[in-house]
A and B are shown apart, each in its own frame.
Chain A
Amino acid sequence: MDARSLSIDGLPVPFDDGQTIMDASLAAGIFIPHLCHHPQFTPQGSCKLCTVRANGRYVSACTMPASEGMEVESNTPELNDKRRTMLQMLFVEGNHFCPSCEKSGDCLLQALAYELEMLGPHFPQFYPDRPVDASHPDVLLDFNRCILCELCVRASRDVDGKSVFALSGRGIGKHLIVNAESGRLADTDFSLADKAAHVCPVGVIIAKRRGFAVPIGQRRFDGEPISRRVDWLARRRADDEEEQ
């Protein structure tokens, strides 16, 4: 049987049964912006950065099953404008200060903002009050930077079998919590060796005493834009940390 294929921005892309548009694009080396997607975990489709038009309908590339002959538009001015707007929403929703952030240069949010030529946050800031949790001996949690992608939630639940993280609240009040009556990470069974310690695409989960181990200028997205790192995005696995 012939390989099945869809098209992304006019390019033919093969896919296997059960693959989503995102799976097919990553395998083919085509960049579709995304934040909450990670090839190791069940797709959830919440950040909406991967919104594409499939046969004219807006869908999330990471959750939409690929189908034969599907025509996908992704890299268009209209979609990139929507993605830029959603990035700006994420920036004003939290408290993001790239120049002082340990994750600068390795941060997917920052890399996408550069990629999509976001020049400023545009919207008025929300300035939420989100105290940091420095209770754990090895890890700092800086909730100010959380984009609610749930990668740590999924990693801790599905890989580590611990469910250290969960979401509470709703709407603009939605926030990350940890699995302890005290609300402190130190009172959970979280460990730096957990998968969940290494999946945060932004700078929420930070290893202590390792600040700036890689100098600025030599970090993952310092040399090349994220759109040229599809190979890395596609093969992210349990080896996330070793990659760094």
Chain B
Amino acid sequence: MTIVDTLEDGPTCDQDRLADLLQPVLARHGSDPLRLLQILRDVQDDLGYLPPAALTSIARAVGLPRARVEGVAGFYAFLHLVPAGRYRVLFSDNIIDRMLGSEELLDRLCNRLWIEPGKVSEDGLVSVDRTSCTGMGDQGPALLVNGRPLTRMSAERIDRLAELIRAQAPLEDWPAEYFAVEDNIRRRDVLLGTRWPAGEAIGAAIARGEEALLAEMSASNLRGRGGAGFTTHVKWESARRAPCREGSRARYVVCNADEGEPGTFKDRVLLTAHPDLLFDGMTVAALAIGACRGLVYLRGEYAYLLPELRATLEARRRSGLLGEAICGRPDFTFDIDIHLGAGAYVCGEETALLESLEGKRGVPRNRPPFPVSEGYLRQPTVVNNVETLCKAAVIAIRGGDWFAGLGTRQSTGSKLLSVSGDVDRPGIYEYPFGVPVNQVLKDCGASDAQAVQVSGPSGTCLARHEFSRRIAFEDVPTAGAIMVFAGHRDMFEVARNFAHFFAHESCGFCTPCRVGTALVARCMDKIANGHGSQYEINEIFRIHRLLHAASHCGLGQTACNALFDTLHKFRPAYERRLRSLDFEPGFDLDRALAAARQMTGRDDPAAHFEPTPAGGR
């Protein structure tokens, strides 16, 4: 860490020393601009942040304008352009973590360390901040320290954490149980309840042949498990038929493992428990579309899974399941690489994901063209979710008719649900599609649910009278998140948490989403601070309509869904906060004096203008 200190000297910065440090990283990635995000991640792992001189050197090495490199580094939440401390603590800020007490624990840790949230300690040792859901909703409150997940935090653990940080103990010496991540599989159906030997699906697919394989995929009517529900075989057929660019025969299979929807964690469990099934699915897809290369885009929060996944890939290469002449078929060459994200929910959108895979800012592309014709490097590309690819592997083995016999007509097969919140048994539940919500609630032990948020903040909020509805594309579609809220929970605070999530995760490309999500978050804060009126409610509806119509991608289009639902179904949660039904100014003289109070260290009655209204952060 003395390196950083040296670099901070500015003009005296030791360029030679920096070059020595960057050289191995750049060599490892072949100074490939397509690997820019991976290079930036690795350099930050070494230096703790990305100093200006490092960006200049990286830009020179990869042959990109420096500003472009800085623009990429500035896009991702986990990359730091200024020092962020040798210990970077990020509390998962999903509403589920909050319900488990994450905010109190964050305050506690800040108190113990004598720092403010979002700021670095004066000695440069530590920073504590919030981050979007880390995918540990069934074992929260969760946090990340230098990118590594810690689960089941408690006051006791937080106190110990503060001691370890103050003692500057290396992460390797921290108690191993803090880093334990459980699978918590609570209900198994056809996928989780079966043992799938590595390579079985590939053998079955090769035996069937490409045309018959696609026919089975068609018969299965498998639809994408990432949320959009697009029919998988149509994607595969389109990518197979789409012409490659001149002079190239490259097609790609991309696995979307950027499981960023708050409250979702089923892909994490699949990546942990069934990585071979996933890689089988990718290989089957490669056979079907004629791809020679596959890429997994793994969300940065799941970086801890990387060594195990890489080892699995290596084992597959050794046993002839990857590489040349796969399963003895001489003309079948395919290999898989894993890229890491760096804290950007929008990269779950498939074209933003492709941009990020190419080492760029994760901004969704204009469509058409669609990835099946112009995807990664503008070549035909299939982008499928982790669960979708696992299902494809199963279909290659058991056939399309068998799969179509499960679930409902429009939603065949089974679905993995990530259940969290006010339930006795949070975790992964696999059901045939069509399961009623109240069945799920019964199985997970949710006795007092007033609301269920299905498919995360961008999904649907169901009230009690809707619990007989079914999980299926025909009724309530979901990417897999089921967040349960008991009767005593404040649905306004749920919606406010979601509003801040979208404001934080908007990529900022288009005007309505960039400014609209920030305005909505401010409206919600104004209501929370006791200055709300019917005016704010109307504003939220108005911005919702605009975002729905004019946003560039699904993030903006769905950003106000939860607010819209809760405003309709849980209106009293809003109205009891409204000061009047006309208009209230947002300016609060007493709140404006807070900075002066902090500077003078005063908090006595004479330092206040008037008693602060109830509520607020």
Q: Could you tell me which A residues sit within 8 Å of B by CB distance?
A: 43-49, 51, 58, 60, 63, 65, 82, 85-86, 89-90, 92-93, 123-124, 126, 147-148, 157, 162-174, 177-181
Contacts and interface: CB of A to CB of B under 8 A. Distances in A.
A93 B522 CA distance: 13
A82 B514 contact: no
Given A92-B515, A170-B344, 8 more contacts: A44-B366, A45-B366, A48-B511, A86-B515, A148-B514, A168-B67, A168-B73, A171-B503
B14 to A, nearest CB: 15
Contacts of B503: 171-172
A148 B368 CA distance: 23
Contacts of B505: 171
Interface of B: 52-53, 55-56, 65-68, 70-71, 73-75, 344, 361, 366, 368, 503-512, 514-519, 522, 542-543, 546, 549-552, 586
Contact of A163 (B52, B68, B361, B516): B68
A1 to B, nearest CB: 23
A172 B66 contact: no
Most A CB atoms within 10 A — which of B56, B65, B511, B517?
Answer: B511
Given A51-B550, A58-B550, A167-B361, A123 B519 contact: yes
A124 B506 CA distance: 19
24 contacts: A45-B510, A45-B552, A46-B552, A47-B510, A60-B366, A85-B543, A86-B550, A93-B514, A123-B519, A126-B518, A163-B65, A166-B70, A167-B361, A168-B70, A168-B73, A169-B508, A170-B507, A170-B508, A172-B514, A174-B507, A177-B70, A177-B71, A181-B53, A181-B55
B343 to A, nearest CB: 10
Most A CB atoms within 10 A — which of B73, B344, B366?
Answer: B366
Contact of B542 (A47, A85, A180): A85
Contacts of A173: 508
A48 B512 contact: yes
Given A46-B509, A86-B546, A177-B71, A171 B361 contact: no
A97 to B, nearest CB: 19
B366 A179 contact: no
A93 to B, nearest CB: 5
A86 B515 CA distance: 9
A192 to B, nearest CB: 19
A47 B550 CA distance: 10
Nearest to B74: A168
Contacts of A147: 511
A168 B366 contact: no
A162 B56 CA distance: 16
Nearest to B367: A63
A166 B519 CA distance: 25
Nearest to B508: A174
Contact of A89 (B55, B71, B366, B519): B519
A58 to B, nearest CB: 5
Nearest to A150: B509
A172 B552 contact: no
Most B CB atoms within 10 A — which of A43, A45, A170?
Answer: A170
Contact of A169 (B53, B55, B74, B549): B74
B508 A164 contact: no
Contacts of B515: 86, 89-90, 92-93, 123, 172
Given A168-B70, A170-B506, A178-B67, A82 B75 contact: no
Given A65-B368, A82-B546, A85-B546, A171 B508 contact: yes
Contacts of B543: 85
Contacts of B509: 46
A32 to B, nearest CB: 14
B68 A46 contact: no
The 8 closest A-B pairs by CB, nearest first: A168-B74, A174-B508, A166-B67, A163-B65, A89-B515, A179-B67, A172-B518, A171-B506
Contact of B511 (A44, A89, A171, A178): A89
A49 B546 CA distance: 12
B366 A63 contact: yes
Contacts of A63: 366
Nearest to A57: B549
Nearest to A65: B368
A200 to B, nearest CB: 17
A90 B508 CA distance: 12
A63 B509 CA distance: 14
A178 B505 CA distance: 24
Nearest to A92: B515
Given A124-B586, A163-B67, A181-B53, A171 B504 contact: yes
Contacts of B56: 181
A163 B67 CA distance: 8
B66 A179 contact: yes
Contacts of B507: 170-171, 174
A124 B546 CA distance: 17
A68 B73 CA distance: 43
Contacts of B552: 45-46, 48, 60
Nearest to A178: B67
Nearest to A89: B515
Contacts of A89: 511-512, 515-516, 519
B67 A164 contact: yes
Contacts of A172: 503, 506, 508, 514-515, 517-518
A45 B504 CA distance: 22
Contacts of A48: 510-512, 550-552
B508 A148 contact: yes
Contacts of A92: 515
A44 B510 CA distance: 10
Contacts of B52: 181
A45 B366 CA distance: 8
B71 A166 contact: yes
A90 B511 contact: yes
A180 B517 contact: no
Contacts of A93: 514-515
Contact of B510 (A46, A164, A167, A178): A46
A82 B68 CA distance: 32
